[in-house]
Amino acid sequence: MTTATEQTAARTSLPATMTAARAHAGKAEMTFEQVPVPEIGAGEVLVEVRAVGVSRGLVSVLVFTDMIKLLPATVGHEIAGTIAAVGPAVDDLAVGDRVHVYPPLGCGACEGCARGQESDCPEFAMIGYALFQPAGLRRYERYHHGGMAEYVRVPAGNVDRLPAAVSYEAGAKLTTAAVSWRAVATARGDGGVTGSGARTLIVTGAAGANGSIAVAAAPMHGFDKVIAVANRRAGLDRLAERYPHVTATIATKELPEKWQRTGGLTAALQQAAPDSAHALVDFTPLGGDIPQQAIKALARNARAVLVAGNPASIQVDYLDIMARGRTLTTAADPSRDDVRTVAAAVGDGRLALDPLVTHRYALADLNTAISTVLGRKGQPVLVVVQPRETPADGIPNHGERSSA
C-alpha cells in the first residue's frame, strides 16, 4: 500500500505542466500545448509515456468521424511507459515500474467486463480514443485524454507490467497485436481445423500493421504456410524476406488488368496454393474485391475471418457456403487475457514486434506521423511517437527516429 506521503514525495519530482498534442473540433492538424500534468486520485496511476502508437484506426476515427468527444482532447490509446506516481489504494504498482496500458474502459460489473471483453459492456469507451456507448461518458470524461503527451492518468486496473524483454514500442502495440492474434486463432478454429498436415493461411491487407502481425503470428497457431496479399509489392517483399513461412506473395497491382471482374486474384491464389488454403484472415481496409475473391480460393470447410471494419459489400455464392462448408465469420475483440498471452509471447521471443516498427517520431512531429499513416508513405507498419525527449530514468528511447 502506498501512503499519501509517498505519493506526494513521488509527485514533487514531477513538473507542473507538460506538452500535450491536442485534437480540436473541425481541425485536421494537432496543436501542441502546455497543459497541467494530470492529478491522480484513488485507484489511479500517472504514466510517463515512453511510446504511444499512431494507428490507422485512431487516425481514421480522428479524421473521418466524430467519435472522439470532449474536444479539445489528447488522443492516443496505444501507451507504454513508466509509472511516475501512484494514487491511494494502489498496492500492486510502484513508481518506476515499466508498464503498458490496456485501453478499454467498462463498468467493471457486467458479464462482458467479467469476461475481460469491455466492448460488450453498455458503458464501453477507450482511454485516449473514443466513446462507443453514451452510458460510458462518466469514465470517458475522466480518462479521455490519452498518451500523446508526456504523462497520462489511467486507472491502475488498466495497467500491466511489461515483461523485461518487451520494449516500450512493442508494449504500446500489445493490444493491437492481440487483435491480429485473436483473428488468426479464430481462423484456426477453437477446436483446431480437422486433420493434420500442412496448413495454409491467406492474409489479405498483409502489409499493414494488423496484417503483418497476423503473418508473424501464423505459425504459433499451426499455420505453416502463409500467402500474403496486399496492393503493392514493397511491403510484401519485406514480409517474405523476414518470414520463411511466407511461401507466396501477391500484389494486386501486378495482377492482369480487370482482375476485379475476371477473378484474377482467385486464380493467383489457387496457383499459389494448388491444394487450396485452409483459412483467410482479411485485413483489407477498403473495397470488397480482395476479400470476395480470396474467399472463393479457399478449400472445403475453410474459415474466412473478416476483421478490417471494411465498409464494402461483398457477394458470396450460396453453394460456397452450403456445398463447400465454408464459414464466414469475424473475430471477437481481444480480451485482457489475449493481451496478456501476446505480452508473454513477445516477452519470450515467440512473437517479435520490434522488427515491425518502421517509423518513430518525436511528439512535435505527430502531424507528420499522422500523414505517414494516412498516406502510407514509406510503407509504414508500426508507427510510434516518443513524447519524452529526456526520460526520467535517463535510458534513451530505442531506435533511430524517422526524419520529419
Q: Output the nine-digit C-alpha cell for 195.
A: 486433420
| For the chain, the helix, strand and coil percentages under 3-state DSSP, each to the nearest 5 | 35, 25, 40
Residue 136 or 208 with smaller CB distance to Zn ion: 136
Residue 122: CB minimum distance to Zn ion, A: 7
Distance CA 199, CA 193 (A): 9
Question: CA 372, 378, 383, 389 torsion: positive or negative?
Answer: negative
Q: What is the DSSP pairing of strand 382-386 with strand 357-362?
A: parallel
Pairing of strands 225-230, 246-251: parallel
| Rounded least distance, CB 124 to Zn ion, Å | 8
Selected range binding Zn ion among 49-57, 108-116, 206-214, 395-403, rule: CB under 5 A:
108-116
Pick the stretch among 1-9, 115-123, 243-251, 391-399 that binds Zn ion (CB under 5 A): 115-123
Neighbours of 335 (CB within 10 A): 19
CA 63 to chain centre: 18
By CB under 5 A, the count of residues binding Zn ion is 5
Is residue 135 near Zn ion by the rule CB under 5 A? no
Residue 306 sits at the vertex; the CA angle it makes with 174 and 278, to the nearest 5 degrees, is: 100
Helix, strand, or coil (residue 362): strand
Q: What Rg, from alpha-carbon coordinates, does the chain have?
A: 22
User: What does residue 128 show for φ and ψ, rounded to 5 degrees?
Assistant: 65, 20
The verdict on 125 binding Zn ion (CB under 5 A) reads: no
Query: Which of the stretches 95-103, 109-117, 274-282, 341-349 binds Zn ion when contact is defined by CB under 5 A?
Result: 109-117
Q: How far is the CB of 137 from Zn ion (least distance, A)?
A: 14
Whole-angstrom Cα distance, residue 178 to residue 118? Answer: 14
Q: Which is nearer to Zn ion, 58 or 113 (CB)?
A: 113
Residue 118 CB, nearest approach to Zn ion (Å): 6
Least spacing, CB of residue 121 vs Zn ion, in Å: 3
Supply the minimum distance, in Å, between the C-beta of residue 178 and Zn ion. 19
Residues comprising the chain, all counted:
404
Q: Does residue number 107 form part of the binding site for Zn ion (CB under 5 A)?
A: yes
Is the distance from CB of 374 to CB of 62 less than 8 angstroms? no
Bridging pattern class, strands 98-101 and 104-105 = unpaired
Number of residue whose CB is nearest Zn ion? 121
Stretch that binds Zn ion, among 103-111, 291-299, 338-346, 371-379 (CB under 5 A): 103-111
Residue in 23, 30, 61, 113 binding Zn ion, rule: CB under 5 A: 113
Give the nearest distance from C-beta 113 to Zn ion in angstroms. 3
Of the candidate residues 14, 35, 94, 110, the single one contacting Zn ion (CB under 5 A): 110
User: In the bound complex, what is the minimum distance in angstroms from residue 139's beta carbon to Zn ion?
Assistant: 10
Q: Which stretch binds Zn ion (CB under 5 A): 69-77, 110-118, 128-136, 385-393?
A: 110-118
CA angle 293, 196, 178 (to 5 degrees): 60
Q: Tell which positions 175-194 bind Zn ion, by CB under 5 A.
A: none
- Strand, helix or coil for residue 78: coil
Stretch 321-340 residues interacting with Zn ion (CB under 5 A)? none
Nearest residue (CB) to Zn ion, 110 versus 137: 110
Stretch that binds Zn ion, among 119-127, 159-167, 234-242, 343-351 (CB under 5 A): 119-127
Shortest Å distance, C-beta 219 to Zn ion: 35
- The packing angle between helices 264-272 and 289-296, to 10°, is 50
Grid coordinates belonging to 64: 473521418
Among 21, 37, 95, 121, binds Zn ion (CB under 5 A): 121
Least separation in angstroms between residue 147's CB and Zn ion is 23
CA 315 from centroid of its chain's CA atoms: 28
Q: Which amino acid does the sequence have at 174? A: L
Alpha helices in 164-258 (DSSP H): 168-172, 174-188, 209-217, 233-242
Q: Which is nearer to Zn ion, 154 or 385 (CB)?
A: 154
The span of 102-110, 220-228, 270-278, 290-298 binding Zn ion (CB under 5 A) equals 102-110
Among 57, 81, 87, 106, binds Zn ion (CB under 5 A): 106
Contacting residues toward Zn ion, per CB under 5 A = 106-107, 110, 113, 121
